[in-house]
Amino acid sequence: MDEYHPGIVDRFPLCMALLDRDLVIRAWNRCMEELVRRPAASAVGQLLRHLPEFKGLPIRTAIRRLLEGEGAVHIMPRGGRNDRGPLAAGLSLAPLRGPAGAVSGFLMTISRPPVSRGIPHSAQRTKALESPRWRVGRTGPNREAGRLALLGAVSELAREAWEEPGLMLQGILDLLATEVAEEALVIFGVVPGGGGLTLLASRGLSPEAASGLPAAAAEGSLGQLLRQGLPVFQASADPAEGFLSRGTGLTIRSLVAVPVRSRERLAAALCCVGSRPSPPFGDAERAFFAALASLIGQALERQPLAASLTRGVFDTVQALAVAIEAKDPYTKGHVQRVTQYAVALGEEADLTPGEIRTLQFGATLHDIGKIGIRAEVLNKPGALSEPERAHMRSHPIVGEQIIAEVDFLQEVRPCIRHHQERYDGSGYPDGLQGEAIPLLARIIAVADVFDALTTDRPYRPALPAERALALLQEEAGQAFDPKVVEGLCRMLR
């Protein structure tokens, strides 16, 4: 959980709460206070199941389905909607997932119940809680849960440190496309001082339309409204080209454009363009886009700091790697080269930016456990004895133990522990086989051995790259993942 997540529940005018992975309440908005009649001060920090309002609900079943990959789930009374109690219309849960798919928490929303028929609120709550019969199902047409899941995914995406913010914005548009029906999605940058608009990211536009759209928007009334910080919601069947100057080649009959602020200034604009009329935009749609724009603004504000912190963390990791190499002069530069090979292989395999960063850290620290290996064993020019071999084979476990208490390196632990596993299961320390070995560890294993083969070692001179690749191919399917070896061959040949 980070400091931006609570902003989701504060900015979305629905009854919403934020839960961490252990179902501890981390945020509880005003609407929730009013509906459940419980102030945030008495809810935040509590386990959800400890609140009497939620006892008897199959929350754990719902969470299990979310962890198994469900996008969002809805908990409803078995008899369908009724007119009693704050939970009469059910509640929805959506996971907060990072780009790598890991779940860090959950967003919960409670649908407003139908208008009561004269039953006092306290009686409504009591009668609703008397019935333990609830069912867990897919959200179906429940748009609130879908929007919840989308905002959660955008918030998680924005937590990543991106070297190029445009890639993050493109990822946000890709997520938004799963929720809105508009054909074209655009994020403009707003040049300070009224200097026009720039294209930061787009989806669904031809190259010609994308290149001409910033100028067309800036010259039309849309640009003027955006520069004033005013949102646009156009749903009419009448053409809306008046918002843009001519020459885009777009037929526009629905348009959403919301300003994005970062550090209290207008920094960008999110636009959704459709060629067909849309249903009228209500308060929920306007609030959804306002919340989305707020998250985008926070992401843009956070990126320079996140990138700086990531560089600082990586500098610390590299300093640890230098300490490893100080024990073994024959491996000088090995860590840097393995990291370069591993990152290139990860990019070739189309890993996410988060996975690439974990791979970068894992490759840099893969041999950190050698700090605990005796120098006479580490630098021995001849064959190792069985006790010496067992001592050497302890380094993946020692390495994992070294970083076990470092919070920001938790995702790196499998890379360190399993980089000496073999694809056929004959490796160490756990004898994992095939795809049971984490992918990042399989990548590091190939990069590690390739660099070892192509550099001088106490027991043999360096091999030519072609010979090293041939040896790796001979061991593909036995020692190494064939797909990773194939990727290295494509890169180097």
pLDDT tens digits for range 346-371: 999 988 777 888 898 899 889 888 88
The sign of the torsion formed by the CA atoms of 194, 200, 201, 206 equals positive
The pLDDT tens digits of the residues spanning 40-64 come to: 999 999 999 889 888 878 888 888 8
The sign of the torsion formed by the CA atoms of 238, 243, 246, 248 equals negative
Residue partners of 466: CB distance under 8 A and separation at least 6: none
| Residue 36 CB-density burial (10 A; 0-12 exposed, 13-18 middle, 19+ buried) | buried
**DSSP count for the chain of H helices, then E strands:** 19, 11
pTM (two decimals) = 0.50
> How, if at all, do strands 254-262 and 265-274 pair?
antiparallel
Farthest CA pair distance, the chain: 89
Taking all residues of the chain, what is their mean pLDDT, rounded to a whole number? 79
**Could you tell me the residue ranges of all domains in the chain?**
5-145, 160-303, 326-492
Q: Supply 9's token pair.
A: 């529940």
Return the half-sphere exposure (C-beta side, CA atoms, 13 A cut-off) of residue 25: 24
* CATH code assigned to 326-492: 1.10.3210.10
Return the half-sphere exposure (C-beta side, CA atoms, 13 A cut-off) of residue 254: 16
State the pLDDT at residue 468. 94
Residue partners of 72: CB distance under 8 A and separation at least 6: 66, 92, 93, 94, 95, 138, 139, 142, 145, 146, 148, 149
Q: Supply 12's token pair.
A: 């979305």
Token match 């997540």: residue? 5
DSSP letter, residue 390:
H
Radius of gyration, alpha carbons of the chain: 27
- Return the closest-CA partner of residue 359 out of 332, 336, 339: 339
Least trusted range by pLDDT, from 56-65, 176-185, 434-443 = 176-185
Q: Which of the four CATH numbers 3.30.559.10, 3.30.450.20, 3.40.50.300, 3.60.130.10 does domain 5-145 have?
A: 3.30.450.20
Who wins on pLDDT, 237 or 168?
Answer: 168
- pLDDT of residue 115 exceeding 60, the answer is no
DSSP letter, residue 259:
E
The pLDDT tens digits of the residues spanning 124-165 come to: 333 333 334 566 765 544 566 667 777 777 877 776 666 677
Identical topology for domains 5-145 and 160-303: yes
- pLDDT of residue 182 exceeding 80, the answer is no
Q: Supply 26's token pair.
A: 């981390």
Q: Quick one: which H or E segment has residue 180?
A: none
Instruction: Examine residue 429 and say whether the peptide bond preceding it is cis (omega within 30 degrees of 0).
Output: yes
CA distance 281 to 445: 53
| Residue 229 CB-density burial (10 A; 0-12 exposed, 13-18 middle, 19+ buried) | middle
| Fold held by 160-303 | Beta-Lactamase (3.30.450)
Q: Quick one: which H or E segment has residue 444?
A: helix 439-453
